[in-house]
Structure 1
Amino acid sequence: MSLKAMRSRGSGSLLSAVLLVAALALPVVAGACFLCCRTDAFLSLLIGRSDMEWAREAERDNSTGHESAEGVVATGSGFSVVGQTNSRQPGIQHAWVLHFGHAPPPLWERTYGGPGMLGASGHAITALPRGGLVVAGTARGTGGGFWGWLVALSPGGDVLWERTPGEEGAHGFHAVSVLEDGSVVAGGSQDRVGWVVRVDSRGKLLWDVKLPQLERVTALVSLPAQRVAVLGTAETSTTGLGISRLMLLDSSGWASWQKQLPVEGKGELAALAPLPEGGFVATGRLSRPDSSDWSLWVVRMDPRGEILWEHVPEDPQVEAGRAITVLPDGGIVVAGFSWKEVLVDREAKVWRFSAEGSLLWEKFYGGARNDMGEGIAHLADDSLVVVGSTLSKGAGKTDVWTFGLSPEGDLLWEETFGAP
């Protein structure tokens, strides 16, 4: 389906979003331009009282009952999930971590808000070598800006340390990994520039670097000798895709080489995983030079970032990979989404590839409404776990969604977590 072929329902969703933004912004305009007028009267005159009441109702409705998961990591015989919820304190978002055995229910779950902050979001999670977790995300500052946020947790979920590197602004982390010496690296953006931070095992800052070649770090992985492979995007816009770059940072944060991807067209890679024998696999979405549509993109690279093979469907749908994991046999499994109706509803999708890049199977998961696959992990029992968000199932609004799969993609279990 072409992105240009938006149906009336999609256009209605966009119009509603525009009306909501306009309704929430207009009191500021009213106060600046019409100091003698009441804001309510101005809003009623400009957009109509019914529209104003609808905007306020939508704001109240969205202030609670929304949960989502963004990352998952295998931990011993189980797995841990990170995301966010605004149900514990309506209007305030908290990072949410759930720790499981081989399947639900969770062994424990806790929320975290950032030290002295007005809430936080969890975007990525990794396991510590001796047990415990590190979560990376964004904390909202009291001054109205945002901070990159890191928190280390004990195996039971207690906070070991918590850090907000940098200064308050338009900042946040989207990826995290642990190096061989136990230090932690996190990547994201700082004022629309790629940003990587390294802290020691107790959270003390070792170094941080800005990467002007990138607007945002989307993924990173740890390598031997305290090196870091960093994946990010640049030249992004609201009307099309940007480009991706893979970079190698040495132990001091110095970039020793970089590769631009794709070779032709535009493409954004969202997830990266190292291969046991060296090299990398990544996934995201690709737009061909002769098309405005984008489709799934999976690429395998050697240790220097040279492309060994790529997978782009011959008959592409509007879909994208969001997470990737490597199997013991060298196979690759990707989790993401496919649009059922462009700009309206998505369904979660999982693809499995051989080590040589052959597509072994692809399957859809979810229900009648909007469902997303955002994270995937391979577990010790050889099963897979996928996490994301769902509107089709659960308590009624957006809920955390987890489901287990066999190596062949058969659904083993499924569970949602959220509040009405």
Structure 2
Amino acid sequence: MSNIQIINENIPKGIAMINDLKIDTRKFNNRKKALTGFTIVELLIVIVIIGILAAITIVSYIGISKKATEASLTSDLDGAKRQLELYKTEHETYPTSLDENKCPTAPENDTKYCLKNKDFIYTTTDNGLTYILRLTKSGITFEVTNSTGPTEKSETAVAAVSFLKTWGNLADDSGTSLAKTNDGGYIMSGHTKSYGAGGADAFIAKYTADGNLSWSRTWGGAGSDWGLSLIQTSDGGYAMAGKTESYGAGGADAFIAKYTADGNLSWSRTWGGTKSEYSVSLIQTSDSGYAMVGYTNSYGAGVADAFISKFTADGNLSWSRTWGGTDSDYGNKLIQTSDGGYMMSGSTSSYADGSAFIAKYTVDGNLSWSRTWGDVGKDSSFQSLIQTSDGGYAMAGYTRSYGAGDLDAFIAKYTVDGNLSWSRTWGGTVEDYGASLIRTSDGGFAMSGETGSYGVGYHDAFIAKYTVDGSLLWSRTWGSAGYENASSLIQTIDGGYAVAGVTYIHGHESAYIAKLTADGSINNCPLSMCQAPTATVSSPVATVTSPTATVSSPVATVTSPTVITTSPTVIIINAIPEPAPEMTITFSNQELYVAYPGVNHTACKEWTVPNGKQIKGFLVSQATESNFDFFTVSLDGVEKYKKSGTSTDEFVDTSAAPGTALKACTSADGSAQSGYGGEVTGVLYN
């Protein structure tokens, strides 16, 4: 029986109840009739019955609304499934990737089979033999696969997996960009001083869906090279952009590096002049080429100009454009818009005395319009940019102009023509930065960055979830006593989130990848690391201008360097402390305690499990100088633990690869210290 039938049948029943009650009450109230023909008691009864009917109507409406949402989800997924089947009929496999308009880009570009809704979350495995397609509306999630029809996904089953894992070694390593891969995993880029050929090398690292590292690759030379932006390409491979001091024409050049799906380097290109250039954001374009933005000191009108450059699929330069004035201007983020053109965001000191800006371009790189955001004499910067479902744009960054503290993170929403719809700040009394912004499957937004106002350390990473109209739903922070950020944010196939960034959780700078649940949490994360702050928010009326920027079309120097690459064996540590089981043996005589060994020395102790048993885990406590002195534990010669700083009773699980012999070492640098070291306090074995 439908909800409408229930309403129609309940209305006459309610009227009949009123009539029955009128007859009964006349026995007691026949002398107290009002001019209306009803007694006071009768009127009260009528009001009660009307309230009951209204409640029935509201409940029924909610039921109808849910059913309407479910019907809409089913219809959209059925339509998308038909498109995917048609694509497979023509191209023999399902698409292995979709662009931001949900049009197939690999193995073949084909706009005939674009999916109707841009909010679909699509993932494929086995090189296009299977797929999962998910859609969320009004908090309800349905999914369809190549072998099943639309089914609702229970809330408890969505985004249950979480982890936080670091990447790196003793030197400084930083994660800067994160992307989803077609197999449901992740790819991260950044720069490393622990591995590679030079002072710092760019790197890419491939992960499975559950956070296990598949492989890592470094890119660089004798100088300092950074990976700043990373994408998966339509052929299943990857492309990274950044800055290089090892190759190119000047002090630093922008670069693009193209990789196969297995992480083998296909080609590299540098872009620049005699001074310095950085590439900060890279996209693959609808023609399978590439476009990047950043800043240049070699070309343009001022000290530094923002630039956008377009390349073919083979890495040949098509055109370049600069944007700026007489001062310093920086391009930070690039997207391709639904009309085939481009949108760049960044920061400008040439216009509005220091503001954020957005600039709209045609498909050929001609400037259509520009807008600044921010107050006079202040400094704001858009660090992230997306196109919204209504064709407009949303940007995130940081502002000195508005908010509660020295710096606040912010989101600003624009119409398709560049008119400001609304702005929101997020922060506290100290410094808070917005670094990455995404549109979520429910139509809202999520922003990540770093906060000095909330959390447990100097600066903590944060994520904040918003509705479609910019209302804050929740905020989460995570970190250590040192510095953390969340420089890159994506939504995962299960409705959760993943971020990449920098952490000092081991006492030195490490890159990390974190998988969050749908509410931004990390399972089993202690309050000493993870918190849920109540952030101060505001809705400022921001100053907006439409500057006439100076543009140029420079002929940049492009080179194709032969780059040094390595495939390092990287130390991966689960940064969330695991609950420690009861140890088989607890050391009482400091069997594996290694004190401070003296300047520039390393001291070690060894212990072998008796009777051929297998070591399944161990407990570690330490107090060493952060960033400089380290405590290391190896099992059968394989390093299982390495940290600086302080840690108490941290459990290291080795059950996946057990062994028989532990070696604990404390190493020191050239600065004299005393009175501390590291210790294995207990061992789990069978």
TM-score range, shorter chain: 0.7 to 0.9
Distance 2:384 2:214 in 1: 28
Encode CA deviations 1:253-277: one digit per residue, 9 max, x unaligned. 1111111113675421111122233
Q: Could you tell me which of 450, 458, 461 is aligned with 1:345? A: 458
1:140-188 per-position Cα deviation (integer Å, ceiling 9, x unaligned): 1468710111111111111122100232421110011111111111010
- Correspondent of 1:363 among 476, 500, 506: 476
1:230 counterpart = 2:344: yes
* Aligned counterpart, 2:177: 71
Summarize deviations over 1:176-225 as a string: whole Å, max 9, x none.
Answer: 11111111110101102111111011101000111124611011111234
Which among 326, 331, 342 is matched to residue 217 of structure 1? 331
CA contact (8 A) 1:400 1:416 kept: no
Contact 2:413–2:421 under 8 Å retained in 1? yes
Residues in 1 aligned to 2:573 and 2:469: alpha-carbon distance in whole angstroms: 35
The equivalent of 2:227 in structure 1 is 122
**Equivalent residue for 1:378?**
491
CA distance in 2, matches of 1:151, 1:413: 38
Using the TM superposition, give the Cα deviation of residue 372 of structure 1 relative to its aligned residue in structure 2, in angstroms.
Answer: 1.2
The answer for the alignment partner of 1:21 in structure 2 is: none
Distance of aligned partners of 1:317 and 1:111 in 2 relative to their CA distance in 1, 3 Å threshold: same
| SS at structure 1 position matched to 2:452 | strand
From 234, 247, 254, give the equivalent of 2:366. Answer: 254
Query: CA 1:278–1:189 in structure 2 vs 1: closer, same or farther (change >3 Å)?
Result: same
Contact kept? 1:269, 1:284, Cα under 8 Å: yes
- Structure 1 residue 242, shift from structure 2 partner: 2.8
Superposed, 1:171-182 pairs within 5 Å as 171-182=277-288
Question: Is 1:399 aligned to 2:505, yes or no?
Answer: no
Q: How many Å separate the matches in 2 of 1:391 and 1:102?
A: 24
1:281 is paired with a residue whose SS is: strand
In the TM superposition, 1:4-403 aligns within 5 A as 65-76=171-182, 77-89=184-196, 92-113=199-220, 118-141=223-246, 145-191=251-297, 192-213=304-325, 215-235=329-349, 242-262=354-374, 266-288=379-401, 293-313=406-426, 317-339=430-452, 345-393=458-506, 396-403=507-514
The answer on whether the counterparts of 1:404 and 1:412 sit within 8 Å (CA) in structure 2 is: no
Distance in 2 (alpha carbons) for counterparts of 1:71 and 1:307: 28
TM-score of the superposed pair, with normalisation by structure 1: 0.77
Runs of 5+ consecutive residues of structure 2 not aligned to the other structure? 1-168, 298-303, 526-571, 575-640, 644-686
| SS, match of residue 195 in structure 2 | strand
The Cα shift of 1:313 comes to 4.0
Q: Distance between the aligned counterparts of 1:160 and 1:219, measured in 2? A: 25
Cα displacement string for residues 28-76 of structure 1 (whole angstroms, at most 9, x for unaligned residues): xxxxxxxxxxxxxxxxxxxxxxxxxxxxxxxxxxx96110001111122
Which deviates more, 163-172 or 359-368?
Answer: 163-172
CA distance in 2, matches of 1:166, 1:302: 34
1:243 maps to amino acid: S
Q: Distance in 2 between matches of 1:267 and 1:153?
A: 35
1:336-376 Cα shifts (integer Å, max 9, x gaps) = 1111599x921111100011111000011011111111111
CA contact (8 A) 2:180 2:490 kept: yes
Gaps of 5+ in 1: 1-62
C-alpha distance 413-176 of structure 1, shift in aligned 2 (>3 A): farther
Supply the distance in 2 between the matched residues of 1:322 and 1:75 (Cα, whole angstroms): 21
Q: Secondary structure at the match of 2:193?
A: strand
How far apart in 1 are the matches of 2:269 and 2:442? 38
Larger mean CA deviation between 139-148 and 219-228 belongs to 139-148
Looking at structure 2, the residues matched to 220 and 248 of structure 1 have their Cα atoms a distance apart, in angstroms, of 10
Any conservation in 1 of the 2:432–2:453 contact (CA below 8 Å)?
no
Secondary structure of 1:273's counterpart equals strand
Change (3 A) 1:416 1:325: farther
Question: Taking structure 1 as reference, are residues 399 and 245 closer, same or farther at Cα in structure 2, changes over 3 Å only?
Answer: same
Q: State the Cα distance separating 1:397 from its structure 2 match.
A: 1.7
Give the residue type in structure 2 aligned to 1:206.
S
Corresponding letter in the other structure for 1:367:
S
Distance in 2 (CA, whole Å) between partners of 1:245 and 1:281 is 12
Q: Secondary structure at the match of 1:324?
A: strand
* Letter aligned with residue 220 of structure 2: G
Q: Distance in 2 between matches of 1:91 and 1:113?
A: 7
Residues of 1 paired with 2:195 and 2:336: CA distance? 34
CA deviation after TM superposition for structure 1 residue 314, in Å = 8.2
One-letter amino acid of the structure 2 residue matched with residue 78 of structure 1 = G
Distance 2:209 2:331 in 1: 31
Asked if the contact 2:207–2:214 (Cα under 8 Å) also holds between the matched residues in 1, the reply is: yes
Query: C-alpha deviations, 1:263-317, integer Å up to 9, x for none?
Result: 6754211111222331121111122379882212111112122222211248655
- SS of residue in 2 equivalent to 1:181: coil
**Contact (CA 8 Å) 2:196, 2:218: kept in 1 or not?**
no
| Structure 2 letter corresponding to 1:201 | A
Instruction: Report what 1:36 is aligned to.
Output: none
Question: Would the alpha carbon gap of residues 374 and 289 (structure 1) be closer, same or farther in structure 2, given more than 3 Å must change?
Answer: closer
Say if 1:209 and 1:358 are closer, same or farther in 2 by CA, change over 3 A. Answer: same
SS at match of 2:357: strand
Task: State the match for 2:522 in structure 1.
Answer: 411
Say whether the 8 Å CA contact 2:250–2:276 is kept in structure 1.
Answer: no
Greater alpha carbon shift after TM alignment, 186-195 vs 404-413: 404-413
d(CA) in 1 for partners of 2:435 and 2:216? 24
- Structure 1 distance, partners of 2:403, 2:440, is 34
Structure 1 residue identity aligned to 2:230: I
- The range that moved more, 206-215 or 167-176, is 206-215
| Alpha carbons of structure 1 residues 103 and 304: separation in structure 2 relative to 1, 3 Å | farther
In structure 2, do the counterparts of structure 1 residues 291 and 313 end up closer, same or farther at CA, with 3 Å as the change threshold? closer
Inter-CA distance 278–337: structure 2 relative to 1 (3 Å threshold): same
Match for 1:196: what amino acid? I
User: Aligned pair in 2 of structure 1 residues 144, 165: CA closer, same or farther (>3 Å)?
Assistant: closer
Structure 2: distance between partners of 1:250 and 1:416: 46
Q: Is the 8 A contact 1:248 1:257 kept in 2?
A: yes
Q: Deviation at 1:416?
A: 5.0
